[in-house]
Structure 1
Amino acid sequence: MTALLLAGAMLVHLGMIFLTLAPPNALKVGNQEAINSYVQPEFGQDWKLFAPNPKQRNDAIGIRLRTMGNPGSPHISQWINLTAQDVAKIQGNPTPSHVDQNMLRIAWDSSDSLHGPTNRPKGIRGQVAADYLKRIALQRFGRQWQGERITAVQLAGRYAMVRPPSWSSEEVPDTTNYRVLPWWPVTDQDYKGL
């Protein structure tokens, strides 16, 4: 009985993986949601492992902190370059952490793509992405900065395209783009699980 159960589970697994990789067909199109919910959490195919696409832009993500001192007067920090902190952790490290290399950048890209030009989230996923980005930033500072309680954070990004190699005919704009997010209040809920 156990062998039969294992064989059935293996057939379902192989079938789901096959349907993920197969070209569009009636079975795949009709069951796309079920296939994705099975495959994506653990078995997603990422071809970048074999043919990585190098970063094509230089990003810098920064943060300002609003804190509250004992007399009750708020203070605002200077901009702190979070990307520079990540780069400092991986430079010279022969086995850099994926977290140090990508977590902040991926969280920023996700939040950026799920928010409109007025910084309003596009549905619940946009709000979740913003909360995730805020928690990643807060994880670096804890509840206090320079002895004062953090009450709000503001994040900003700066992007410039990487110049193509001299042998390439590719043209890229020679501009730097900026995006400054609004102040996000910090509550005890933001620290839950950190």
Structure 2
Amino acid sequence: MTRRAVLLVGAALLGLHFLLAAFSQSPYTPMKLRYYDKVSGYLDPYFAQNWMLFAPDPLADDRGILARAKCADGRVTEYYDVTSPYIHAAQGSRFFPSRMSRLVGSSLQSLYNSDPLLDRLRKSEKEKKKPVLPLMPYEKSSREDAVRFLSRYSMTQMPQACGGDPRSIQIRMYVRELPPWSRRDDPSAKDRISVQDYGWQKAGDLR
């Protein structure tokens, strides 16, 4: 293959990559709903697009993951904090943070984030006491992938659990909502913490 042919093939592949990335961020259409899972399978996790830096509603909470393990004898361990270590590691290396911090953060977002348009639609339906639109197939698969990734990551962060041989892993996501900035001087303003548990994942499927 000549050098020119190599350049043409490279340019075509690069163009296809940017086309798929743009498609993943385009408005929802029947075509996007049909092909989103395949496009997402190519982009995730290394090329996933995340525009939260430019979001009009910046994060105003503290969120993370706790995990516990089930042993061969049926014993269930206490919850381990598997979020704080990677946050401290990222903060300790400002110029060259680990790629893992982005992967964990993106997976946390994938657990409950959805398209703003669908969020508004579901909120409107809930306020009108109408049947709420169920999760789209791509939303379900995205959340299932996030649970599997976070379960696998959690298992690596607690090697001492069950003597190093856990049979199942369960993760719990916590969200600590901080008081709004407008109430920063109000001593009665309190944090609000909510948790959500996810199903047990077999350790053998995570290795």
CA spacing shift, 1:105–1:2, aligned 2, 3 Å? closer
**TM-score, scaled to structure 2:** 0.55
Helix, strand or coil at the partner of 2:71? strand
Question: Is contact 1:160-1:176 (8 Å) kept?
Answer: yes
Q: Which has the larger radius of gyration?
A: 1
- Structure 1 residues 74 and 148: alpha-carbon distance in aligned structure 2, compared to 1, 3 A threshold: farther
Q: Distance in 1 between matches of 2:19 and 2:108?
A: 33
SS of residue paired to 1:150: coil
For 1:80 and 1:153, how far apart are their aligned partners in 2? 11
> 1:56 is aligned with what amino acid?
A
User: How far apart, in 2, do the equivalents of 1:87 and 1:43 lie?
Assistant: 21
Instruction: Quote the offset at 1:10 in angstroms.
Output: 3.9
Partner amino acid for 1:186?
A: A
Higher strand share: 1
Specify which structure has the higher proportion of helix: 2
Q: Map 1:80-119 onto structure 2 (within 5 A).
A: 80-95=80-95, 97-112=97-112
Matched, 1:165 2:181: yes
1:147 equivalenced with 2:163 (yes/no): yes
Higher relative contact order (CA 8 A, sep 6+): 2
Aligned residues: 167
C-alpha contact (below 8 Å) 1:89/1:100 kept by paired residues: no
User: How many angstroms apart in 1 are the aligned matches of 2:9 and 2:103?
Assistant: 37
**Structure 2 unmatched runs, 5+:** 115-136
Instruction: Among all aligned residue pairs of Structure 1 and Structure 2, give the percentage whose two residues are the same amino acid.
Output: 14
1:110 CA drift (Å): 2.0
* Equivalent residue, structure 2, for 1:138: 155
Q: How high is the TM-score relative to the length of structure 1?
A: 0.58
Does 2:73 correspond to 1:57?
no
